[in-house]
Amino acid sequence: MSQVESIPAVARAHAHGQAPAVVASDGTFSHAQLLDASAAVASRLLGNRHDLAQARVCFMVPPSFAYVATLFGIWRAGGIAVPLCITHPAPELEHVLDDASASSVVVHPSFEPTLRPLAEARKLVCLRSDELGTSSHAALPQVDAARGALLIYTSGTTGKPKGALSTHAILQAQMRSIVQAWELCERDRILHVLPLHHLHGILNALLSVLYAGGCCELLPRFDATEVWARLSQSTQLTLFMAVPTIYAKLAACFDDAPSERQIELTRACERLRLMVSGSAALPVSMLERWQKLSRHQLLERYGMTEIGMGLGNPLHGPRHPSSVGVPFPSVQARVVGDAGEPVADGNPGQLEIAGPNVFREYWNQPQATAQAFTADGWFKTGDVAVREHGHYRLLGRASVDILKTGGYKVSALEIEETLREHPAVAEACVVGVPDDEWGQRVAAALLLRAGHSLDLVQLRAFCKERMASYKVPTLLVTPVDLPRNAMGKVQKPEVAKLFEPA
Backbone angles phi, psi at 146, to 5 degrees: -80, -5
Average pLDDT rounded to a whole number, residues 129-135? 82
pLDDT attached to residue 155: 67
User: Pairing relation of β-strands 20-24 and 27-30?
Assistant: antiparallel
Percent of the chain with pLDDT over 90: 81
Q: What is the dihedral of CA 145, 148, 154, 159, to 10 degrees?
A: 140
pLDDT attached to residue 1: 35
pLDDT attached to residue 411: 87
What domains does the chain contain, in order, with CATH numbers?
Answer: 4-9+27-176 (3.40.50.980), 324-396 (2.30.38.10), 402-497 (3.30.300.30)
Q: What is the pLDDT of residues 369-383, one digit of tens each?
A: 999 999 999 999 999
- Give the pLDDT band (50/70/90) at residue 2: very low
What's the half-sphere exposure (Cβ side, CA atoms, 13 Å) at 112? 10
pLDDT attached to residue 138: 81
How many Å apart are CA 395 and CA 397, to the nearest integer? 7
Residue 410's identity, in one-letter code, is: V
pLDDT attached to residue 172: 97
User: Pairing relation of β-strands 349-354 and 379-388?
Assistant: antiparallel
Q: What is the mean pLDDT of the chain?
A: 93
pLDDT attached to residue 485: 82
Q: Considering only CA atoms, which of 262, 258, 267, 202 is closest in space to residue 235?
A: 267
- The residues with which 190 forms a beta bridge, in sequence order, are 216, 239
How many Å apart are CA 204 and CA 182, to the nearest integer? 10
Q: Which of 31-40, 151-160, 241-250 has the lowest mean pLDDT?
A: 151-160
3-state helix, strand, coil in the chain (%, to 5): 35, 25, 40
What are the C-alpha distances in Å from 437 to residues 406, 433, 486?
8, 11, 36
- The residues with which 242 forms a beta bridge, in sequence order, are 277
What are the C-alpha distances in Å from 348 to residues 327, 337, 380?
17, 8, 15
Average pLDDT rounded to a whole number, residues 74-95? 94
- Give the pLDDT band (50/70/90) at residue 283: confident
The model carries a pTM of 0.87
pLDDT attached to residue 72: 97
Longest dimension (CA), the chain: 71
